Amino acid sequence: MAQRETWATRTGFILAAVGSAVGLGNIWRFPFLVGQEGGAAFLVVYLLFVALIGFPAMLVEFVVGRRTNRNPVGALKELGGGVWQYLGWVFAATGFIILSYYSVVGGWVLRYVLIGLQGGYVGDIEGAGGQFVEAASGLDAVLGHAIFMAAVIAIVGFGIRRGIEFAVQVMVPAIILIAFGLAVYAFTLPGASEAYAFYLSPDVGEILANWTDILPAAAGQAFFTLSLGMGAMITYASYIGDDRNLAEDGLIIVGLDTLIAFTAGLIVFPIFFTGGVDPANTIGAGAIFISLAAALGDLSFGWLIGTVFFGTIAIAALSSAISLLEVVVSYLIDERGMERFTATAIVGTIIFVVGIPTALDLVFIDLYDLFANNILLVFGGLMVSIFVGWVISNVALDEIGRGVRNLGSWGDVWIWLVRIPVIVILFVTIYLGVFEYYEFLTGDFADWLGQNL
Ligand code: PHE
């Protein structure tokens, strides 16, 4: 059998993992969640969850991946035996579904780069809304989805070193630099101080009053943004060597991801406040495409800022999408002996087809997103945490200690964070997520079916 691929350098792995983590979750999802869930109050809970839940959960996946040097299905089979491999299947299915609509949103972003270049952001909310609906569903959206997916397939098809590692070395530094540049620009806008007040001064009363909304939203977001719960970090860690300190790498990755999300807020909110848009009414998924585009339409040089901003998001989305595809591809290579390029092309094409409905009608984005994000992702994270925290904790503690000079009692701190807080919070989150999905299925989605069938 051919030797399994590995990352060429430590930086290569870190950049790939940061590339996976930093994506639509940071720049698209995070600002609209902050807007909807009460500004700084949400930010505080989110930061807390990233540190207390997200970071330990990332190490859980690293340990499984590096220990086995296998894809998620193979890794769980090896460590836990028969039944646990089904969890690997859940991971693969989750990645499959997420990528199918993630790519559609990636296509919208590409479209908004073009709109910017043509100088075409409409300066009022209603017009911007019309522009979004036109760009987001229908043949154009299918085309954008196809282009985005083709790029993902091309990168993953070239393999770990020549494809993924090579691409992220250019993409990730670019994302970081441009994001900082845009934040500095946003600082000069007249709405900046109002924006900072909204974004940066938390109100404890607000957290206490709305915790049933804020908690699951913050936990779900912490998982999504760190690419947890579907085996992406298991897969990426399966290509690294034993000599590295997983906790140290994890800290850098979590730190950079959080920094970029935070910076996205520093970009988006000043633009909102300057354009007179209330962040609490940013129309959810349409936030950056409608509200932000409308605010951009009002700014001088808004088209240029918009082009750069959406261009950055496109790169960030691409470097995340490749990790979603790699999960499934690594399974086909490791367990089915398929050749990389064939595996990539076949899976990529099927994912493209599965995503088509979400490019035709926005209601399918919610149908896929709520299920994959609020249920499957959290379920996957919960199960792998139970597995590592309670079933194979000795192996896990041994693995986390490798490449570390002096672990001290940090290993125990980590395993106990996984055993109780991580599991409890994920359990509560999934419970609330199932209810929300039920409401969606019997509400908005049933209405849609009633009108269209
Ligand atoms: N972390 C990515 C983002 O923030 C999304 C993602 C989730 C990627 C799960 C891979 C796995 O956009």
Structure confidence by residue, pLDDT tens digits, 192-251: 999 999 999 888 887 788 887 788 888 889 999 999 999 999 999 999 977 889 999 999
Does some domain include residue 161? yes
Residue 373 within any structural domain of the chain: yes
- Segment 426-434 shows an average pLDDT of 90
When comparing pLDDT for 286 and 326, which is higher?
Answer: 326
pLDDT tens-digit series, residues 116-158: 998 878 878 788 888 888 888 899 999 999 999 999 999 999 9
The per-residue pLDDT for range 7-16, each reduced to its tens digit, is: 999 999 999 9
Quick check: is 266 in a domain? yes
Ligand 1 atom nearest the C-alpha of 257 is 4
Atom of ligand 1 minimally distant from the CA of 224: 7
What's the predicted TM-score (pTM) here? Answer: 0.93
pLDDT at 103: 97
Pocket test for ligand 1, best of 323, 326, 384 (most atoms within 8 A of CB): 323
Q: Which of 33, 101, 105, 224 to mutate to test the pocket of ligand 1 (most atoms within 8 A of CB)?
A: 224
The reply to whether ligand 1 has any atom less than 6 angstroms from the CB of 268 is: no
Residue 17 is assigned to a structural domain of this protein: yes
Nearest CA to ligand 1 atom 9: 227
The count of domains in the chain is: 1
Residue 345 lies in a domain: yes
Q: Whose CA is nearest to atom 7 of ligand 1?
A: 227
342: domain CATH number? 1.20.1740
Tell the residue nearest (CA) to atom 6 of ligand 1.
227
| Ligand 1: centre distance to CA 304 (Å) | 27
Residue 212 located in a structural domain: yes
Question: Which whole number is the average pLDDT over 363-387?
Answer: 90
- 297 close to ligand 1 (CB < 6 Angstrom): no
Helix (H), strand (E) at residue 138: none
**Confidence band for 112, pLDDT divided at 50, 70 and 90:** very high
Tens-place pLDDT, residues 36-78: 888 898 999 999 999 999 999 999 999 999 999 999 999 999 9
Quote the percentage of the chain above a pLDDT of 70. 98
5 within some domain: no
Q: Which domain holds residue 212?
A: 10-452
Residue 52 confidence (pLDDT)? 93
Residue 2 lies in a domain: no
